[in-house]
Structure 1
Amino acid sequence: MQYVAPIGIGILYALLMSLVREPHRRRLNALMVAGAGAAYLSGGGLGGWEFPFTALLTYVAFRGLESWTWIGVGWLLHTVWDIVHHIKGNPIIPFFHTSSLGCAICDPVIAIWCLRGGPSLIEFVRDRRRTGRPEPTPTGAAAP
């Protein structure tokens, strides 16, 4: 469950963000990346290294105001920082020892969604229901 729940949280994050219309969805996600960059500042355990990382993610978030790609890069950078904290630093949630590991599993799920342009998952599901799933054609048969 420790490894599955973070994936579900990442999917839930994308679903909830799908409720926000563009261009506000992209800008809100840029702010979320900036906030994630500062998550370890008050006790991450890596001392002064927390500040350059926060500055880096602030820059990436600024670029993300206009680009989903930069937001995805920001979540991937945060994934690396989560792994470093899981191995050498303090967890993101002080009373939950493996919280940085969970964050390192969740963040790439969000990053993949962002690198795909942050599409509305709700609209994706609606479109699938509306059009239905196409019937698979038998091997060797031509589609009508």
Structure 2
Amino acid sequence: MQYVAPIAIGILYALLMSLVREPHQRHRNAVMVAGAGAAYLSGGGMGGWEFPFTALLAYVAFRGLESWTWLGVGWLLHTAWDIVHHVKGAPIIPFAHTSSLGCAICDPVIALWCLRGGPSLIDFVRERRRAGQPRPGPGSRDGVSLRSPLTRPRVTMAR
């Protein structure tokens, strides 16, 4: 569960962001990247290095206002910072010792979604559902068969 939940959270994040339309979707993601950069400031586990990292992610988030690629890079940078904090033993949530590990698993999921241009997962699910439905064939109108199930040709196996 320690590994599955962060992946599910990343997918849920992308799913919820899919409800927001462009350009607001990219702008909100930029705000999230900037916030992720400042997430470790209160703990200070890396000392003075927390400030340059926060400044770096603020710059990346600013560039992300116009580019999904920069947003993906921002999430990957945050992943690296999560790993550093996890190894050092300075988690993002002080009383949850594996919280930085969970964040390091969740962030690449979001990064991959961003690097693909923040596609709508809702539209993706709808298209997959449509692709799974039978295609209209001969003797059908608008995908609805005009033949009775009793008059369909019977398929038999040869002996």
TM-score, structure 2 as length reference? 0.81
Instruction: Give, in angstroms, the shift of residue 129 of structure 1.
Output: 1.7
Query: Is the contact made by 2:9 and 2:106 (CA closer than 8 Å) also made in structure 1?
Result: yes
**Greater relative contact order (Cα 8 A, min sep 6): structure 1 or 2?**
1
CA distance in structure 2 between the partners assigned to 1:69 and 1:129 by the alignment: 29
CA shift for structure 1 position 134 = 8.2
**What residue number does 2:108 align with?**
108
Q: 2:45, 2:90 within 8 Å by CA — same for their partners in 1?
A: yes
Larger Rg, first or second structure (1 or 2): 2
Aligned residue in 2 for 1:14: 14
Structure 1 gap segments, 5+ residues each? 136-144
Residue 133 and residue 100 in structure 1: after superposition, are their counterparts in 2 closer, same or farther (change >3 A)?
farther
8 Å CA contact retained: 2:89, 2:97: no
Aligned to 2:105, the other structure's residue is in SS state helix
What TM-score, normalized by structure 1, do the two folds share? 0.90
Per-residue deviation, 1:77: 0.1
RMSD value over aligned CA atoms? 1.4
1:120 aligns with 2:120: yes
Partner of 1:30: 30
Alignment-derived partner of residue 49 in structure 1? 49
Number of aligned residue pairs: 135
Match of 1:82 in 2: 82
Partners of 1:106 and 1:90 lie apart in 2 by: 18
Structure 1 consecutive aligned stretches of length 4 or more whose deviation exceeds 2 Å = 130-135
Q: What's the secondary structure of 1:96's corresponding residue?
A: coil
